[in-house]
Amino acid sequence: MNDMAKNLILWLVIAVVLMSLFQGFGSDDTKKAQIDYTTFNKEVSQGQIQQVQINGQEIKGLKSNQSTFVTYIPAPDLDLVNYLIKNNVKVEGTPPEETSFLASIFVSWFPMLLLIGVWIFFMRNMQGGGKGGAMSFGKSKAKLMSEDQIKTMFSDVAGCDEAKEDVVELVDYLKDSTKFQKLGGRIPTGVLLVGPPGTGKTLLAKAIAGEAKVPFFSISGSDFVEMFVGVGASRVRDMFEQAKKSAPCIIFIDEIDAVGRQRGAGMGGGNDEREQTLNQMLVEMDGFEGNEGIIVIAATNRPDVLDAALLRPGRFDRQVVVGLPDVRGREQILKVHMRKIPLDEDVKATVLARGTPGFSGADLANLVNEAALFAARGNKRTVSKEDFEQARDKILMGAERRSLVMTNKDKESTAYHEAGHAIVAKLVPQHHPIHKVTIIPRGRALGVTQFLPEGDQISQNKDELESSISVAYGGRIAEELIYGAQKVSTGASQDIKQASAIARAMVTEWGFSEKLGPILLTGEQGSLRSNVVSHETGKIIDDEVKAFIDTNYKRAYQLLTDNIDILHAMKEALMKYETIDSDQVDDLMARVTVRPPTDWDEELESAKSKTSEKSESVTPDAVNESQETEAVKESDEPEVNESSKDDVTADKNNDK
Ligand code: ADP
Ligand code: ZN
């Protein structure tokens, strides 16, 4: 933009100079009275002319009465000068005019110069190499934050202590680079932050800049990519040039895989533009000797696709992993974000952290924000535990769909289905404790059974996996026991998918099959490795998978048959309360009277249910999403496993 203005001013100056030059030719004979040659001759003979100046055919002069005049000689008159002298007129000549000579050259060349100028102008733009070109095509789009704009500090980044430790020395280096050089230490010029989205990579990079009080350039890898070859490269060049001006500083490149993919790999063969951009980046990173105080920090989720050249010493030779936070990390992140809002006393970050496995830092920030919004909607002054609960459910499963009117029949079958999951989960060994069971529709699910694992689940043993299979079938079996095999709904499709995926992975990936032993039998995307697996082995795999499923299906069937009274009781409780927590489930399992949930208001609810029953009876077409009843929510996964038939591969389950 600045260069644009400079250019404009330059052109204006040129225009003004030219105009004044052209004006100069006209000189100042405007005021002189023009007389004809005959009159002039007569006046000379009468002695009325005092002085003349002859310039070619033009004669300017002064009369005896001191008035000026101008006249033009019609034809060359060689006797004129003698004649004038004879009549006592003072005659002057003019020096041959140099200015007009130069000007005439200029005038004749002007169109040519103009053309050349325009041509250069366009050439520079086309190459995109124009530093200071009128259009900022090849300029980097990096956003600059100056040191006093950055408010982020290390204390704002929580739950990734290892990553922080890895980068603190960069702060020292940026603060005082000479100290390190004296000792001959080499500080990496490039640091690669590796981790899933939302784990705070940008935040961490910014915090380094904030702590070191240096400017922060940020750009996304995709900003370099342009249709025209060479643009990306020139943007890289431009960015490094800008950065050098404000060194020491940090350049942060988000999604570096957009430019840094392996060269020559991928579809459509080589991509000239991307390669040039990448090459330029390599050149720039080699270019500074570390003494210029620029640290390049790049972020990516996929270090495996990066070009090996980028990872070589002197470039991004240091990798810092910023992973998903564990329970303690989540607690700290929640605390960081909860600092900013007023909380009820009973809101405990520890408890929230336990209930949010798999959440990234960004998810947790979002959770706190949503909770504050719920509180604001309820006109509350502080944010309560219930607000957090609601926010979490919204993030995990989509907003409640209280408006979706379910017929009593659908509600009932959903209640049986969820109760089936819950009861089996209570009775099989080594399953996660239940957090709550609900038949309030959310997102695309009609009901959910949620579990709360005690710690972060890093790996699972065979017992746990088999239990998961049983629990997944619990919902469907409950429906079958109550309504008969003919009436089972399609709602269990997601459960089946999930159970099958677990069983298959147990056989082909985790080596839990006694017949096959611990051999990896899957390829890249979980597909069977056709080159490794023979036809016979394929058949054994199928048999083994089926065997796992059968045993666990039978176990769940047996458990539910033996405890069918609990199934009925839990259905009743769900129909009444819609959501029951672990306390109610415990009561049901102990076959004692169910205590009402803590937030239960008997009178209000009975009034509500009376009116709603009426409306339900007149809306037979209420269920629009078919008979889906939802899936078991395995809470070691952040995403919801709804029972919609088409989406989400159930390839869940940590394959550690
Ligand atoms: P990434 O760059 O890894 O995708 P960001 O740094 O953009 O993630 O994180 C987005 C937001 O999530 C941050 O602005 C911050 O509010 C929150 N956040 C993420 N990780 C953390 C963390 N470790 N500590 C505190 N807040 C975090
Ligand atoms: Zn289910």
| Whether residue 320 has its Cβ less than 6 Å from ligand 1 | no
Bridge-based pairing of strands 49-55 and 58-63 is antiparallel
Q: Which atom of ligand 1 is nearest to the CA of 299?
A: 2
pLDDT tens-place string over residues 459-494: 788 888 999 999 999 999 999 999 988 877 777 888
Neighbours of ion ligand 2 (CB under 5 A): 475, 495, 631
Do you find a cis peptide bond into 248, omega within 30 degrees of 0? yes
Q: Which residue has the higher pLDDT, 13 or 266?
A: 13
Q: How high is the mean pLDDT of the chain? A: 77
Residues 6+ apart with CB under 8 A from 103: 21, 24, 25
Q: Which ligand approaches the C-alpha of residue 153 most closely? A: 1
Mutate to test the pocket of ligand 1, among 143, 152, 162, 203 (most ligand atoms within 8 A of CB): 203
Q: What is the pLDDT of residue 82?
A: 83
Q: Tell whether the torsion through CA atoms of 520, 523, 527 and 531 is positive or negative.
A: negative
| Whether residue 157 has its Cβ less than 6 Å from ligand 1 | yes
Residues 6+ apart with CB under 8 A from 636: 357, 358, 432, 453, 456, 457, 654
Which residue spans within 238-317 are E strands per DSSP? 249-254, 294-300
The residue whose CA has the least distance to atom 18 of ligand 1 is 361
pLDDT tens-place string over residues 388-398: 988 888 887 77
Per-residue pLDDT averaged across 242-256, rounded? 84
Assign 371 a pLDDT band (cuts: 50, 70, 90). very high
DSSP character at residue 159: S
The residue whose CA has the least distance to atom 5 of ligand 1 is 200
Q: What is the pLDDT of residue 348?
A: 86
52 phi, psi to nearest 5 deg: -135, 160
Max Cα-Cα span within the chain: 148
| Whether residue 198 has its Cβ less than 6 Å from ligand 1 | yes
Q: Rounded to an integer, what distance in angstroms lies between the CA atom of residue 344 and that of residue 335?
A: 14
C-alpha 581 to ligand 2 mean position (Å): 17
What percent of the chain stands above pLDDT 90?
A: 16
Q: Among 169-178, 268-277, 328-337, which is the least confidently predicted range?
A: 268-277
DSSP character at residue 593: P
Q: Length of the chain, please? A: 656
The residue whose CA has the least distance to atom 6 of ligand 1 is 200
Q: Rounded to an integer, what distance in angstroms lies between the CA atom of residue 99 and that of residue 372?
A: 79
Q: Rounded to an integer, what distance in angstroms lies between the CA atom of residue 198 and that of residue 372?
A: 20
Positions marked active-site: 418
Q: Among 130-134, 238-242, 283-287, 648-652, which is the least confidently predicted range?
A: 648-652
Bridge-based pairing of strands 90-92 and 49-55 is parallel
C-alpha 651 to ligand 1 mean position (Å): 27
Q: Which ligand approaches the C-alpha of residue 448 most closely? A: 2
pLDDT at 611 over 90: no
Q: Which residue has the higher pLDDT, 478 or 142?
A: 478
Task: Give the side-chain half-sphere CA count within 13 A for 6.
Answer: 8
Residue whose structure tokens are 């800008």: 242
Residues 6+ apart with CB under 8 A from 345: none
Assign 186 a pLDDT band (cuts: 50, 70, 90). low
| Whether residue 206 has its Cβ less than 6 Å from ligand 1 | no
Task: Give the side-chain half-sphere CA count within 13 A for 253.
Answer: 29
C-alpha 96 to ligand 1 mean position (Å): 79
The two three-digit tokens of residue 481, written as one number: 């026991």
CA of 413: how far to CAs of 84, 311, 445, in Å?
128, 56, 13
C-alpha 347 to ligand 1 mean position (Å): 22
Q: Which ligand approaches the C-alpha of residue 641 most closely? A: 2
Instruction: Identify which of 169-178, 333-342, 618-627 has the greatest average pLDDT.
Output: 333-342
Q: Rounded to an integer, what distance in angstroms lies between the CA atom of residue 133 and that of residue 355?
A: 55
Q: Rounded to an integer, what distance in angstroms lies between the CA atom of residue 44 and that of residue 88?
A: 9
pLDDT tens-place string over residues 80-109: 888 888 888 888 877 766 667 778 888 888
Strands of the sheet containing 49-55, edge to edge, are 33-34, 68-72, 58-63, 49-55, 90-92
Q: Rounded to an integer, what distance in angstroms lies between the CA atom of residue 129 and that of residue 131?
A: 6
Q: Which residue has the higher pLDDT, 600 or 638?
A: 600
Q: How far is CA 295 from the centre of its chain?
A: 22
Q: Rounded to an integer, what distance in angstroms lies between the CA atom of residue 231 and that of residue 200?
A: 30
Closest CA to 625 of 447, 449, 495: 447
pLDDT at 640 over 60: no
Q: Which residue has the higher pLDDT, 293 or 52?
A: 52
pLDDT at 61 over 60: yes
| Whether residue 361 has its Cβ less than 6 Å from ligand 1 | yes
